[in-house]
Homo-oligomer: A and B are copies of this chain.
Amino acid sequence: MIESAQLAPPVFADIAAAAQRLNGKALMTPLLESQLLNDRVGGRVLIKAECLQRTGSFKFRGAFNRLSLIPEAHIAAGVVAYSSGNHAQGVAAAARAFGVPATIVMPNDAPTIKVANTRADGAEVIFYDRYTEIREEIGARLADDRGATIVKPYDDPGVIAGQGTIGLEISQQLAERNIQADAVLVPCGGGGMVSGIALALATRCPDLAVFAAEPADFDDTRRSLASGERHSNDPNARSICDALLAPTPGEITFSINSRLLTNGLTASDAEARHAMALAFETLKIVVEPGGAVGLATILNGQFDIQNRTVVVVCSGGNVDPAVFATCLE
């Protein structure tokens, strides 16, 4: 069964409610800092390390919150999701926490570690071809067959509200340490995380500029922000940032982002790899390519950090060992 989309965007109260539901379930991830990194870039960088979140990415927040919103009569039939891997793991872990079955539609080129972890949490994985098949159709068919509820990766108010709890934590952590930050840089695929964070900060820290960071050839949100209309990426584009390859901004996410984001920034694959190596060296965290794009936009100079204080979300760490090893060379 496909629930009809609730198209009204979430509001601040939805994020506050999500934070209550996630309390004790998700980790309050640390805001990390390295003097070495600050010296290197000439400004102050605070890393919101969502790679340390349960399942290795922020996606558990949105998935768990969304599952909490499924009516009791429906949840036993389980959930269906489509995902390149991080949402897959988030939904699998949330379904396990609720004790219900999960079926995940994943691209056949998803990183091995993401497939293995999704299965380890008890989910059934069904593969599709990222470039020739439409995952939404496969997911809808499966949900129909099984009477299961679809948990969309980003364009859903419950998912956006869950990711928005990252913004609440950032505002709280900045206040505790008495830090005045200038901006927040957030990796962006379909825009669920950045829209949730922007929504939380619009209430809690309205002076903070929020930027979406995207792979250079997947800058649909940057171009859409510039024109005011949703644009798509070239279907022939490729990137190592497997978590950020959504074809176009979400409808709900873009309605928030077009109102609240300052701008979009981009980084190349080589710059993302460099950022992963720098995070390894100075912060001791494992960041996957897509998770490092925010930091990469500082290193490539698109975001000018000189004498400024910036929060950078490192959104995930689910990267195959061989890929990570090549980034360290």
Q: Residues on A close to B: CB < 8 A?
A: 24, 27-30, 32-36, 39, 49, 51-52, 54-56, 93, 96, 113, 117, 120-121, 177, 277, 280-287, 317-318, 321-322, 324-325, 328-329
Contacts and interface: CB of A to CB of B under 8 A. Distances in A.
A288 to B, nearest CB: 9
Contacts of A24: 177
B280 A321 contact: yes
Contact of A280 (B39, B96, B277, B286): B286
A30 B29 contact: yes
A117 B36 contact: yes
7 contacts: A30-B30, A36-B121, A49-B52, A284-B285, A284-B286, A285-B286, A286-B286
Nearest to A120: B36
Nearest to A27: B30
Contact of A324 (B36, B55, B283, B328): B328
A328 B317 contact: no
A29 B33 CA distance: 12
A177 B120 CA distance: 24
Nearest to A318: B284
A177 to B, nearest CB: 7
Contacts of A325: 324-325, 328-329
A218 to B, nearest CB: 23
A265 to B, nearest CB: 24
Contacts of A329: 321, 325
A44 to B, nearest CB: 14
Nearest to A317: B284
Contacts of A28: 30
Given A24-B177, A30-B30, A52 B283 contact: yes
A63 to B, nearest CB: 14
A52 B286 CA distance: 11
B39 A120 contact: yes
A189 to B, nearest CB: 19
